[in-house]
Amino acid sequence: MSARAVLQGVELPRRLTALLEGESLLNDATGLVLFRFAVAATLSGVFSASDAAQSFAILAIGGVLAGLAVGAAWVFIVRRLNSEMLILVTTMLMSWAAYILGEAIHVSGVIAVVTAGLMLGWYQHVVFPATVRLRGNAFWQIMVFVLEALVFILIGFSLRGVLERVGGIEAVTTTFAGPIVAIVLAVIVARFVWIFASDALLSGLRAAGLKQARPLGVRQATVLGWAGMRGVVTLAVALTLPAQMPGRDFMLLTAFAVIFATVVLQGTSLGRVIALVKPVDKEPPAKLDLPATEAAITRARHAEVERRAYGPDGTLEHPVLLEQSQRRLNAVEKYAQDSDRAMVRFREHFDLQRHAIAAARAELIQVHRAGLIEDETLHNLERDLDVEEMGLILQSQD
């Protein structure tokens, strides 16, 4: 969560950005599975590495298969739904269905949820109408915010009881401070050791002739190592510790300290680390950049308009629409040739349109306040203006 917020204001190599934004999916899923083994081993006093590895493989593979099954069923159902609200509801129910199925067949429900979520992300571009995508983004932003806030509230309630049981703040600072600091440092150092060791292995495989091995390099590995903030999942896991777990209160205190230290220390300084290290993008650039891609889809759009603008007898039936499409294509072609220069004109164009929409909205409110139009007319025209303004905002952010 903190890494994503910092990444919005900096430029990073594309592969490093993908790793930072996407690593938490499988990291959290596999971490929760391993956490289950650790709790069971602690409470039972019995642990077998071979049995644990076998069980982990079954849980992980089974979770992936369960997630694929739920994801396939979701795609099948969504293609046949006509209600936007029902489609949004199915996106939420899909995660519950994947988790319940995974747990019911005794595999990893968390990995099942992650797999189903990946299928949703892949297929949403072809099964969702445009309105569902826009509303779905807003819906999930609110849901994630509310759920994360609830987890922090729960840890706050739990922390108060923990402090009372261990003897208050003084006992924490005198008795537990040393071990907690050591664990926080171990968490940070362990991430660097793992990342640099993995990168060294990739470098060795690359030197041995394996072209598929792509090491990050010291600069990118440093940024990836420092971006190891812990958040909601750590809190949620700490809260699930059974009451009979030895040292449960110490674990809760440590979890809170790890989250606080990594978010405050690493989260607030990640931007400076990126600026200091200056990671270099070693990946070959994509064949098409944003301006070229926009020009390509605009040509396809114009070709379709041009094809349908004429009637069966060859008569031009939509001259205004064809002219508008041609002007748009010309503007986008200029943008693709010199995006920096064209963007200045586009910004002026967007600003002018937004001022015009603001004037139209002010006039609409004025005539409504004067009692000249009905509420229904106000809502319908206001919706049209909002949609038009949202389109301008999204275009100006490209």
Point out the least confidently predicted range of 23-37, 172-186, 375-389. Answer: 23-37
Q: Which two tokens stand for residue 258?
A: 């790890």
Q: Is the pLDDT of residue 3 over 60?
A: no
| Tokens coding 122 | 């892949």
pLDDT at 363: 92
Angle between helix axes 177-207 and 218-226 (nearest 10 degrees) is 150
Q: What are phi and psi of 310, to 5 degrees?
A: -105, 145
Binned at pLDDT 50, 70 and 90, residue 9 comes out as low
Phi/psi of residue 309, each to 5°? Answer: -75, -20
Let me know how long the chain is: 398
What confidence tens digit (pLDDT) does each residue in 252-300 have?
Answer: 888 888 888 888 788 778 878 888 888 877 766 777 777 888 889 889 9
pLDDT beyond 60 at 85 = yes
Separation between Cα atoms, residue 395 and residue 398, nearest integer Å: 6
Q: What pLDDT score was predicted for residue 351?
A: 83
> 11 Cβ partners below 8 Å, 6+ apart?
none
Domain ranges for the chain, please list them. 289-337, 341-398
The per-residue pLDDT of the chain, averaged, comes to 82
Distance between CA 3 and CA 222 in Å, rounded? 14
Residue 2, pLDDT > 70, answer no
| Tokens linked to 263 | 């978010």
**How many whole angstroms separate alpha carbon 358 and alpha carbon 351?**
11
Can you give the pLDDT at residue 394?
67
Q: Confidence class of residue 139 from pLDDT cuts 50, 70 and 90?
A: confident
Amino acid at 277: V
**Which residues make Cβ contacts (< 8 Å) with residue 100, sequence separation at least 6?**
109
* Residue with the larger pLDDT of the pair 83 and 43: 83
Closest CA to 233 of 388, 9, 30, 17: 30
Structure confidence at residue 6 as a pLDDT band (50, 70, 90): low
Q: Specify the pLDDT at position 217.
A: 83
Whether the pLDDT of residue 379 is over 80: the answer is: yes
Question: Which three-class secondary structure state does DSSP give residue 316?
Answer: strand
Which of 66-70, 76-80, 212-216 has the least mean pLDDT? 212-216
Angstrom distance (rounded) from CA 301 to CA 339: 20
Residue 8's pLDDT is 58
DSSP label at residue 264: I
| Residue 100 scores a pLDDT above 80 | yes
Taking the C-alpha atoms of residue 292 and residue 22, their distance in angstroms, rounded to an integer, is: 27
Does the pLDDT of residue 5 top 70, yes or no? no
Tokens coding 342: 């064209």
**Token pair belonging to 221:** 């590995």
Alpha-carbon distance of 239 to 158, in angstroms, equals 8
| Residue 44 pLDDT exceeds 80 | no
Q: Which of 266, 264, 240 is CA-nearest to residue 252? A: 240
322-342 pLDDT, tens digit per residue, is 898 888 888 888 878 877 777
Can you tell me whether residue 277 is helix, strand or coil? Answer: helix
Residue 397 reports pLDDT greater than 70 = no
Are 245 and 44 spatial neighbours (Cβ–Cβ below 8 Å)? no
pTM: 0.67
Model pLDDT, residue 186:
92
Which spans in 167-207 are helix H? 169-171, 177-207
pLDDT for 24:
65
CB 267 within 8 A of CB 229: yes
117-146 burial: b if 16+ Cβ within 10 Å, else e: bbbbeebbeebbeeebeebbeeeeeeeeee
CA distances from 46 to 35, 39, 49, 75, 263 (A): 15, 11, 10, 43, 35
Q: What pLDDT, in 10s, does the model give residues 158-214?
A: 777 777 777 777 777 777 788 888 998 998 999 899 999 998 998 898 888 887 788
